[in-house]
Chain A
């Protein structure tokens, strides 16, 4: 059972939250300008890492607000929680992820 610290409400049980999948997936600003492959990458393709994962959670049975979590997908240990719009704690991973999505869209 996960204990998740909502940035607004504090530590609550996992059953109060809903999962929102991978975080920081940006909707292409002009969908008409990109090809089907890039659109598919945005819609369906995911990093699905074994290890550190940055993901969205919704405190659905609480304040009903979204926030981001950095969680290890093997140990399930949560290493960071930050609000939407805030900079993720490790910028290094950010640039790695961007490189990966660029590779696929080529």
Chain B
């Protein structure tokens, strides 16, 4: 794989950029692999990359039913932060944050990680108490965070409506300076390219239709491109996790819902940070192209159709206009829905299963993008060693039986 650099850019400029090497191969599936990752989203590709890089397992296939970056990885609002309340979640997301901070260099691919800061607004005294508590918890875990009072907030984000005369007046915010955004497509492409260059086969248009198993062990998977054998199968399929679990005769504590994201027409730079509000329930940032990138809540009902309901659009827009009345005449350009698998405690499941050699990484719900590198890193460890890393030990499937839930509904930023 050719390395991307200023020199390769200059060299390819001389040939009008017509001779760039393909970023990854398009191999046909082999009969057998040491490990199969089902799902070629960011988390699946990251898993394959870290399996190859950290654990020396390179005979891997990533099976993607559509195309790389066509699922939730390309359908989110690209926010990255690690300011979660509980130790288990905070440590997991902070691991991810540390990987983000060196990811472009590590992958030799510019994922456009921009630490422009993330504000989580508080609109009531109880919100502010929760924010104080969460910021204190973050700092005790070595994660940066500060509480910003509303006067300071009004100076930092000029068009944010900090008037006391609104329906839900803003009283302050938590601020994580190291938070920000990343280019979501580049994350998928960067991990795909880096994994491919370590020998991972990325097989697109290959839908898994069955999981073969015998005597409690995984044998392989049936796919639209034939049967593929492997004694280790990692499933990272977000909204479709329930469907894959059913293939293995299991059920999961998950429900699949559509989550929409919206972008406006491109406008001149107006918002240089990320603003999220739990109470009015919307979040917004501005991309480098100039579009406002907006997200809000899930559709309340179960759904696998990759689109969202109109009432949810209206709700999202009214939340954003409550915060930024100046955007009232900005026209929205595009809207799309991804299927998220929400978990009862708003935390993921990164776990072994009762079936030997079958692993699930799911339940990220509405906030999986920020965890992409860390999720892959701990899942690779779990698959390679057949036991979880200490960072994901608490995120086992068994927690729903033992009752050791990790309730992150507050810090997940979205009321499910």
Count A/B pairs, Cβ under 8 Å.
Answer: 74
**A46 contacts B402, C-beta separation under 8 Å:** no
Q: Is the CB of B309 within 8 A of A1?
A: yes
A46 to B254, CA, bound (A): 6
Across the interface, B303 reaches (CB within 8 A) one of A45, A76, A103, namely A76
Indicate which residue in B243, B250, B309, B400 contacts A14 across the interface (CB closer than 8 Å). Answer: B309
- Name the CB-closest residue of B to A38: B401
By size class, the interface of chain B is 20 to 34
B400 pairs with A45, CB closer than 8 A? yes
B256 contacts the other chain (CB 8 A): yes
Residues of chain A lying within 8 A (CB to CB) of residue B243: 50
Q: Is the CB of B94 closer than 8 A to any CB of chain A?
A: no
Q: Which residue of A lies closest to B253 (CB)?
A: A44
Indicate if the CB atoms of A50 and B253 lie closer than 8 Å. no
B255 at the interface (CB under 8 A from A): yes
Q: Is A5 an interface residue (CB 8 A)?
A: no
Q: How far in angstroms is the closest Cβ of chain A from B344?
A: 5
Please tell me if the beta carbons of B344 and A44 are within 8 angstroms of each other in the complex. Answer: yes
CB contacts under 8 Å to A, within B241-257, are: 242-243, 246, 249-256
Report yes or no: A2 in contact with B309, Cβ–Cβ below 8 A. Answer: yes
Residue B300 lies at the interface, judged by CB distance under 8 Å to chain A: yes
CB distance from B402 to the nearest CB of A (A): 7
Q: Does A104 contact B (CB under 8 A)?
A: yes
A35-82 residues at the B interface, CB under 8 angstroms: 36-37, 40-41, 43-50, 53, 55, 71, 73-76
A residues sitting closer than 8 Å to B (CB atoms) are 1-2, 14-15, 18-19, 21-22, 36-37, 40-41, 43-50, 53, 55, 71, 73-76, 100-101, 103-104
